[in-house]
């Protein structure tokens, strides 16, 4: 293992980053922090993943436009909670442009050096005067210890902040710091990024390799969460790398340094994803859905989508009722390529269906599997080489 957890680390822990979170009244009746700002004192390379929704929110549209011309010298990310700025048309885009412009002017940086994220209520215009005042205050309060304030400011339905920082050993005394913060408990489904997440590092790395590393890590973490089957028009994951660690720039995907960074980034994304699902579950249960033996990624995805969307199955899990027939029903409704006579189903370690027929099993063991705080369903199609695991959960209200 090439990394260790940075105790009390946060999004501004990597060298050369500053952050803060302030309250500017974006959440009605609340004085909670609702505006976060992350700033790199040096131009940073950036990689990003965004929602695949056809109804992209204004901040997503604007950030994608900015990244089409600048991926090598990003300086800041502004995140507001309380208002999604989605479904707001051209006025919403105009407001987003003004926010980015104001951040750039206050920080005295180029106007294409600011990215935006928003989360909250859809279809409500941004309260721009509150945002103008909040942006000016956030710029004035930026500091190297402000990451925890920022992690709180991006929350909406979350019950707690989600953050982590790592020290990464590259080679022969060369080190970097990698940090992240995320939010999300609802509207999470694997259609690319599935939530809001900002990652920072002081590593020097080629932008194409940074994008490759993010795509790989998000694909194995954020893109394997399906908490309620609904996507969002605001989903975004960003990573900024400002090179302040002083390492020789990583330009080779086959290098030891890149492998060390990739390993750490994969752990960080997985850790943040687990924090999200555990917060979403609350008093409910975590459900791991593992598909094996699929002929293709598409077939595996169809199966996990059908299983994670089944409210009846989630309800049985929540109540501890060992009705694995609901699992079989969900798999059968998936329209995935399969041969029913080859299908195996496991609840935890208990084989309940073998080659399409009920298997002799210990009912007490099945009850125990359904009764624990976490359960794994394994669906083996026995038809191909593809495997896929997605995490979902039950909620107390189901």
How remote is the C-alpha of 133 from its chain's centroid?
29
What is the CATH class of 3-281? alpha beta
pLDDT tens-digit profile of 26-46?
987 778 999 999 999 999 999
Q: Per-residue pLDDT averaged across 93-104, rounded? A: 98
Query: Residue 103 region, left (φ>0) first, then alpha (ψ -120 to 50), else beta?
Result: alpha
SS3 state at 96 = helix
Q: Which residues contact 206 (CB under 8 A, 6 or more apart)?
A: 45, 249, 250, 251
Domain ranges of the chain: 3-281, 286-393
How many other C-beta atoms lie within 10 A of the C-beta of residue 52?
Answer: 13
Average pLDDT of the chain is 91
Mean of pLDDT values over 139-160: 93
The residue annotated as part of the active site, out of 51, 156, 194, 200, is 194
The residues, ordered by sequence, that sit 6+ positions from 180 with a Cβ below 8 Å of its Cβ are 11, 163, 164, 165, 197, 198, 199, 200, 268, 269, 272
Q: What is the pLDDT of residue 12?
A: 98
Q: Confidence band (pLDDT; 50, 70, 90) for 348?
A: very high
293-301: average pLDDT: 93
Q: Strands (DSSP E) along 275-320, which ranges?
A: 286-294
The mean pLDDT value for 134-156 works out to: 96
Whether 157 is catalytic: no
Mean pLDDT of 85-92: 95
**Identical fold, 3-281 and 286-393:** no
* pLDDT at position 232 over 90: no
**Among the listed residues 18, 38, 3, the one whose alpha carbon sits nearest the alpha carbon of residue 177:** 3
Q: What is the mean pLDDT of residues 1-25?
A: 94
Tell me what percent of the residues of the chain surpass a pLDDT of 90. 72
What is the C-alpha separation between 375 and 218, in angstroms, rounded? 23
Packing angle of the helix pair 325-332, 297-308 (nearest 10 deg): 130
Query: 221: which DSSP letter?
Result: T
Please determine, for residue 187, whether its predicted confidence score (pLDDT) is greater than 50.
no
Find out if CATH 3.10.20.340 is the number for domain 286-393: yes
Name which of 257, 250, 152 is nearest 210 in CA terms.
250
Which is higher by pLDDT, 305 or 152? 152
């Amino acid at each position: 293992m090439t990394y260790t957890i940075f105790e009390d680390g946060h999004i501004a822990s990597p060298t050369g980053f500053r952050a803060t979170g302030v309250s500017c009244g974006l959440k009605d009746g609340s004085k909670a922090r609702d505006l976060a700002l992350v700033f790199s004192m040096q131009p940073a390379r950036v990689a990003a993943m965004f929602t695949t929704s056809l109804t992209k929110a204004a901040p997503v549209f604007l950030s994608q436009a900015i990244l089409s011309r600048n991926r090598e010298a990003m300086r800041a990310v502004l995140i507001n909670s309380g208002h999604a700025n989605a479904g707001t048309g051209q006025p919403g885009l105009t407001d987003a442009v003004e926010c980015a412009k104001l951040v750039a002017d206050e920080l005295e940086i180029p106007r294409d050096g600011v990215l935006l994220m928003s989360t909250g209520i859809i279809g409500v215009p941004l309260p721009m005067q509150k945002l103008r005042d909040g942006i000016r205050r956030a710029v004035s309060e930026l500091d190297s210890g402000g990451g925890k304030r920022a992690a709180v400011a991006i929350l909406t339905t979350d019950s707690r902040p989600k953050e982590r920082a790592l020290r990464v050993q590259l080679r022969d005394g060369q080190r970097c710091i990698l940090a992240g913060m995320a939010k999300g408990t609802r509207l999470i489904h694997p259609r690319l990024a599935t939530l809001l997440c900002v990652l920072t590092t002081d590593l020097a790395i080629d932008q194409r390799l940074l994008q490759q590393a993010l795509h790989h890590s998000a694909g194995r973490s954020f893109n394997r969460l399906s908490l309620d089957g609904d996507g969002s028009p605001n989903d975004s994951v960003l990573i900024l790398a400002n090179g302040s660690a002083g390492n020789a720039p990583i330009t080779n995907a086959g290098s030891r340094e890149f492998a060390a960074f990739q390993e750490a980034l994969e752990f960080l994304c997985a850790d943040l994803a687990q924090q999200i699902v555990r917060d979403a579950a609350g008093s409910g249960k975590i459900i791991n859905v593992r598909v094996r033996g699929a002929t293709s990624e598409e077939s595996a995805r169809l199966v996990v989508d059908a299983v994670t969307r089944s409210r009846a199955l989630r309800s049985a899990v929540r109540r501890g009722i060992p009705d694995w027939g609901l699992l079989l029903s969900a798999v059968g409704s998936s329209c995935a390529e399969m041969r029913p006579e080859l299908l195996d189903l496991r609840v935890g370690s208990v084989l309940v269906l073998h080659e399409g027929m009920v298997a002799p099993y210990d009912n007490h063991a099945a009850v125990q599997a359904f009764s624990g705080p976490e359960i794994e369903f394994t669906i083996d199609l026995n038809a191909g080489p593809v495997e896929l695991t997605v995490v979902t959960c039950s909620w107390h209200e189901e």
